[in-house]
Homo-oligomer: A and B are copies of this chain.
Amino acid sequence: MYKAIIFDVYGTIFDMSSLEKRLNQFDETQASSISQLWRKTQLQHMFLKQIMQRYITFDILTKDALRFTLDKHKIQYNREDINQLFDAFLDLDYFKEIPRVFSDLKAKNLEIGVLSNGNDSMLMPLVDNSKISDDIDTVMSVDEIKQYKPSPASYALILDYYHVNRSEVLYVSSNSWDVTGAANFGFDTVWVNRRKMQFDNNGQAPTMTVSNLNELVKWVEMNK
């Protein structure tokens, strides 16, 4: 049934809580609050830039979001602080089941790709730094078309790369807005709900919900 399994990157393959570790060295008392507002602001700015048709690369956007977040926490910082904290995005931990999951999927002759809002200067160090890069066939960035997810054009990139039909793609994300966007485009979707959250239903529900990626492998086996 499926020919390609496409994964989101931030929060789906790589654990965003790694950010908090790095922030702990910077400001122990507010690390959790800073990391949450940073990620929230990053997404909010991204959505609004897309609506305003004012694309900028994700690295610049992420640094801007960090400055806003630190200002809001009334924390002083210099250029070096911003660069060091930003570097946490290049060195996130992947979820521990990933290597096994990718090799199981490869063994079933499935293509494995990632589609991210990150640009290459963020994605390449992250993926290359990690041991899982060998199992990823294609790293796709929306930077190629300058339109962020969840725009239809961003998911269309997958069809350009793989020359498959929409029904042959399974799209996997931990972000409900990303699941909704991919489903809206016509893909079957898997929502990775690691924290027992309520799905933010905004038009399209996921085809399948799993609590980790091992469950994804089982589900793909049953639906081949």
Contact = CB atoms under 8 A, between A and B. Distances in A.
A150 B44 CA distance: 13
Interface stretch (A24-32, A108-116, A133-141, A176-184): A176-184
A52 interface: yes
Interface size class, chain A: 20 to 34
Contacts of A11: none
A49 to B, nearest CB: 7
Interface stretch (A89-97, A156-164, A195-203, A207-215): A195-203
Given A72-B198, A201-B68, A203-B54, A181 B48 contact: yes
Given A54-B184, A184-B54, A48 B202 contact: yes
Interface of A: 41, 44-45, 47-54, 64, 68, 71-72, 148, 150-152, 177, 180-181, 184, 198, 200-203
